[in-house]
């Protein structure tokens, strides 16, 4: 039994005060003893402002303080219980705490739902205790948490160097917190607030933590390490709240390959999902995506340093250097990381006049000629309406202080004047101490750790500002689409909605469908209300080609024979006998449009249809419902293929009509999520007059 099979969590951040857990005034420590291997990691807590009580009936003292035989014996309200005992005793401690005034628990032990049936039963007991006591639980099967500024260390994780700051981290893989702490320490201007190991998330999960951090005044940015999102709806609602509050979210999704998925499941008991779905959903939600701990910190470093009033879309970044090599590599990396560096052609005359021999205004290689007019260069670029962020790349190590102070001071001074972010990056690795100190005094300036790290931070800054402008704290809602009250048709994939009901479903959703006529088992063909030639097929069969159950280019005189042929195939193969007749549609192209119920919720999948699906093996997706902007951005993903955007004299597809169809498909996906398992429209024909769904396969949930 895995954690995903347990009863859904019903104790949330709205039911409990997570502040009592993460900023406690009183702490009870259960099971710790002097000499324990991880006792030194708790030691900083003894120097915090919290009052600490030790519960251990086997010892008279721990850390020089008297012990208590139980939580009850303390006789005081306890904000958080930190328990380092085995699984069964841990469960008993939680059950005792449920009857006391306890804010929550931090549980380290394994042996719960990640193990076996007995462990799953213990985890249910934890959940029941949490419900009765109104408590949050961090863990079990985790490493605890650290509140860096308040020196509270309820963790068995190594005491890596951590400086106080605004980035809070929640990780479903506790050990990765060490990598994040190390990466943050290597960036002198970056500090950490909360480091939380989520463990099994028996009670309190990612959604709860994000919801708490959205309101936490000490948190400026949120970093996540994710194996699986257990409650997608609540998770994305919490992310929206954080964004509205001005707190960017970045995520490192683990288990991206089959083998790492197996590894993840073996140590947490949590099944992991399709990484592509996570990428689609996170990008759409405005969550920055990282691939390793260092990139996770890179994504948030600039946002954590800058005062919010200096945040811009970073849509037009000016790069200024003193050497061609730094200019060249910065431009290459900017292209890789999706940061726009406009050519600033209007600057060409000014640059050539003032810097003879320099031809490219952006990135600007000011060379040695630029030193005498450095203030003028900075003023020129800072004042441009075509620039909304500036980056200075230069050797700025400790050894460069003598020549670096003046140029750096001149550069960052303009930040407060023009209200734009000014980023100072060493040519590689972190800046020297003098430069970090200098930049930190200016709220509109931030440091970067080499061009790659810096570009990632700029890209995240711009993407967050754009995403935040579009997001609202409330979820988009779609009207409920009722399930048709008809019998389904068994298929290998599951229960199929009949052809006619599927086409009506699409039509009612605002997705254009091709004309069709149905001929029942005992019906005459009669007059068809549209001109031929025709397509004749068995209507309620999912995979017609396997049965030869479709005939093309049927003339009016041959229509009856074609219908009879379909009936013979149905009788021979035991298939539903209803026949569908449709006109042959002249196509400019074909698109694929699908609806899937992913583990993160309903999703619209889109791409080129016909042979392109198999040849390119490429589709795009958006979580439902979609906004019009989502639809256009999805279409834009295929611009490089050119088929949709016009090529070799062929006209571009009608993107306005296509975007409307995608939005309508999103409304259908969201409105029918309770009963639609999947719905594939392939092909959706592109005609001179627009788009037509000529066929669709809808699998419904049993």
379 pLDDT above the threshold of 70: yes
- The whole-angstrom separation of Cα 119 and Cα 536 is 58
Facing residues of 490 across strands? 495
Query: CB burial class (10 A; 0-12, 13-18, 19+) of residue 645?
Result: middle
- Is the pLDDT assigned to residue 473 strictly greater than 90? no
How buried is 487 (Cβ within 10 angstroms: 0-12 exposed, 13-18 middle, 19+ buried)?
exposed
Residue 7: pLDDT band by 50, 70, 90 thresholds?
A: very low
Q: Output the DSSP codes for 167-233.
A: EEEEESSTTHHHHHHHHHHTSTT--EEEEEE-TT-SSS-HHHHHHHHHH-TT-SEEEEEES--S-HH
CA distance 459 to 295: 12
Residue among 206, 204, 209, 34 at smallest CA distance from 105: 204
DSSP code for 624: S
**Cis peptide leading into residue 116 (ω within 30°):** no
- Give the pLDDT confidence score for residue 10 in this predicted structure: 57
Question: In this predicted structure, what is the pLDDT of residue 2?
Answer: 36
What is the length of the chain? 702
DSSP per-residue string spanning 559-622:
HHHHHHHHHHHHHHHT----EEEEE----SEEEEEEEEEETTEEEEEEEE-THHHHHH---EEE
Give the separation between CA 308 and CA 82, rounded to whole angstroms: 36
CA-CA distances (angstroms) from residue 372 to 155, 355, 408, 529? 55, 11, 14, 82
Burial class (CB in 10 A: 0-12, 13-18, 19+), 414: buried
The per-residue pLDDT for 266 is 38
Q: What pLDDT, on the 0 to 100 scale, is given for residue 483?
A: 96
Residue 162 and residue 181 in contact, taking contact as beta carbons nearer than 8 Å: yes
Q: What is the pLDDT of residue 610?
A: 67
Cα separation, 437 vs 420, in Å, equals: 20
Phi, psi dihedral angles at 449 (to 5 degrees): -110, 70
Percent of the chain at pLDDT exceeding 90: 83
Radius of gyration of the CA atoms of the chain, in A: 31
Q: What is the pTM of this model?
A: 0.92
**Cis-peptide, bond into residue 665, ω within 30° of zero:** no
Range 12-27 burial, b when 16+ CB lie within 10 A, else e: bbebbbbbbbbbbebb
For residue 410, pLDDT over 50 is answered with: yes
Are the C-beta atoms of residues 80 and 183 closer than 8 Å to each other?
no
119-133, 218-232, 356-370: range with lowest mean pLDDT: 356-370
Tell me the average pLDDT across 641-654. Answer: 83
Q: For residue 648, which phi and psi values (nearest 5 degrees)?
A: 50, 45
Would you state the pLDDT for residue 614? Answer: 62
Please determine, for residue 145, whether its predicted confidence score (pLDDT) is greater than 60.
yes
Q: What's the burial of 614, exposed, middle or buried (CB within 10 Å: 0-12/13-18/19+)?
A: exposed
3 state SS for 282-315 = HHHHCCEEECCHHHHHHHHHHHHHCCHHHCCCCC
Q: Which two tokens stand for residue 20?
A: 């009592």
Which residue bears the tokens 């700029």? Answer: 458
Using CB atoms within 10 Å of the CB of residue 248, give its burial: 0 to 12 exposed, 13 to 18 middle, 19+ buried: buried
CA dist 501 and 498 (Å) reads 5
Tokens representing 481?
Answer: 């689409």
Residue entry with tokens 């850390």: 63
Phi, psi of 684 (to 5 degrees): -105, 115
Query: Is beta strand 65-68 parallel, antiparallel or unpaired with respect to 51-55?
Result: parallel
Residue 399 has pLDDT above 60, yes or no: yes
Assess contact for 492 and 270: CB atoms under 8 A: no
Q: Does residue 301 surpass a pLDDT of 50?
A: yes
CB-count exposure of residue 57 (10 Å: 0-12, 13-18, 19+): exposed
Q: Report the candidate in 226, 236, 294 with the shortest Cα–Cα distance to residue 260.
A: 226
Residue closest to 469 by CA, chosen among 276, 286, 606, 621: 286
Distance, CA of 286 to CA of 691 (rounded, Å): 31
pLDDT > 70: percent of the chain: 94
Contact yes or no for 13/208 (Cβ under 8 A): yes
**Residue 613 pLDDT level (bands cut at 50, 70, 90):** low
Alpha carbon of 529 to those of 562, 651, 691: distances in Å?
17, 31, 20
- Per-residue pLDDT, averaged over 252-273, amounts to 53
For all residues of the chain together, what is the average pLDDT?
A: 92
What is the mean predicted confidence (pLDDT) over 132-155?
Answer: 97
pLDDT: is 369 or 602 the higher one?
602
Note the pLDDT of residue 271: 38
CA distance 66 to 527: 95
Place 336 in a pLDDT band, splitting at 50, 70 and 90.
Answer: very high
For 524, counting Cβ atoms within 10 Å of its Cβ (0-12 exposed, 13-18 middle, 19+ buried), the class is exposed
């Amino acid at each position: 039994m895995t954690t995903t099979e347990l009863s859904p969590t019903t104790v949330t951040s709205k039911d409990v005060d997570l502040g009592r857990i993460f900023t406690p005034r009183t702490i009870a420590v259960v099971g710790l003893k002097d000499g324990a291997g991880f006792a030194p990691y708790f030691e900083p807590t003894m120097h915090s402002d919290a009052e600490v009580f030790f519960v251990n009936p086997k010892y008279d003292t721990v850390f020089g303080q008297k012990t208590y035989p139980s939580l009850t014996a303390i006789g005081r309200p306890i904000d958080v219980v930190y328990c380092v005992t085995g699984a069964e005793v841990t469960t008993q401690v939680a059950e005792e705490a449920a009857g006391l005034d306890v804010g929550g628990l931090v549980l380290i032990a394994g042996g719960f739902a990640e193990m076996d049936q007995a462990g799953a039963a213990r985890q249910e007991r934890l959940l029941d205790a949490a419900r009765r006591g109104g408590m949050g639980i961090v863990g079990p099967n985790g490493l605890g948490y650290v509140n860096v500024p308040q020196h509270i260390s309820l963790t068995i994780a190594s005491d890596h160097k951590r400086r106080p700051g605004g980035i809070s981290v929640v990780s479903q893989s506790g050990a990765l917190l060490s990598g994040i702490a190390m990466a943050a320490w290597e960036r002198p201007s970056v500090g950490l607030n909360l480091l939380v190991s989520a463990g099994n998330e028996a009670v309190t999960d990612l959604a709860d933590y994000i919801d708490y951090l959205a309101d936490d005044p000490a948190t400026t940015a949120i970093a996540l390490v994710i194996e699986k999102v257990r409650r997608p709806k609540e998770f994305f609602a919490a992310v929206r709240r954080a964004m509205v509050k001005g707190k960017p979210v970045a995520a490192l999704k683990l288990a991206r390959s089959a083998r790492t998925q197996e590894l993840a499941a073996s140590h947490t008991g949590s099944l992991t999902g399709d990484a592509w779905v996570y990428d689609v959903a996170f990008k759409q939600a405005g969550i920055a995506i990282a691939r390793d701990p260092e990139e996770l910190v890179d994504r948030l470093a600039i946002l954590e340093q800058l005062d919010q009033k200096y945040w811009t879309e970073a849509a037009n970044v000016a790069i200024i250097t003193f050497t061609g090599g730094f200019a060249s590599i910065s431009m290459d990396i900017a292209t890789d990381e999706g940061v726009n560096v406009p050519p600033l052609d209007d600057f060409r005359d000014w640059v050539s006049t003032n810097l003879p021999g320099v031809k490219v205004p952006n990135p600007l290689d000011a060379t040695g000629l630029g030193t005498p007019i450095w203030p003028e260069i900075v003023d020129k670029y800072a004042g441009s309406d075509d620039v909304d962020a500036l980056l200075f790349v230069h050797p700025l190590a400790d050894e460069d202080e003598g020549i670096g102070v003046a140029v750096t001071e001149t550069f960052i001074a303009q930040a407060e004047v023009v209200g734009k972010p000014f980023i100072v990056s060493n040519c590689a690795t972190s800046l020297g101490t003098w430069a970090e100190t200098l930049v930190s005094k200016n709220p509109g300036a931030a440091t970067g750790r080499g061009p790659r790290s810096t570009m990632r931070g700029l890209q995240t800054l711009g993407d967050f500002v754009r995403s935040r402008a579009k997001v609202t704290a409330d979820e988009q809602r779609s009207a409920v689409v009722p399930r048709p009250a008809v019998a389904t048709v068994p298929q290998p994939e599951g229960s199929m909605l009949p052809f006619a009901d599927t086409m009506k479903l699409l039509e009612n959703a605002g997705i254009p469908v091709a004309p069709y006529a149905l001929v029942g088992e005992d019906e005459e063909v009669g007059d068809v209300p549209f001109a031929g030639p025709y397509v004749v097929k068995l209507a309620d069969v999912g995979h017609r080609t396997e049965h030869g159950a479709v005939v093309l280019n049927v003339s009016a005189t041959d229509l009856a024979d074609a219908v009879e042929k379909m009936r013979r195939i149905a009788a021979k193969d035991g298939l539903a006998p209803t026949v569908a007749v449709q006109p042959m549609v002249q196509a400019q192209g074909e698109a694929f449009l699908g609806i899937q119920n992913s583990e993160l919720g309903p999703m619209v999948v889109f791409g080129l249809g016909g042979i392109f699906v198999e040849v390119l093996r490429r589709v795009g997706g958006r979580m439902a419902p979609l906004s019009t902007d989502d639809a256009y951005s999805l279409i834009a993903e295929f611009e490089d293929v050119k088929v949709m955007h016009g090529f070799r004299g062929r006209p571009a597809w009608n993107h306005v009509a296509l975007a409307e169809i995608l939005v309508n498909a999103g409304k259908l996906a969201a409105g029918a999520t309770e009963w639609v398992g999947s719905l594939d429209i392939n092909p959706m024909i592109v005609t001179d007059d627009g788009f037509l769904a000529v066929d669709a396969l809808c699998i419904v949930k049993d």
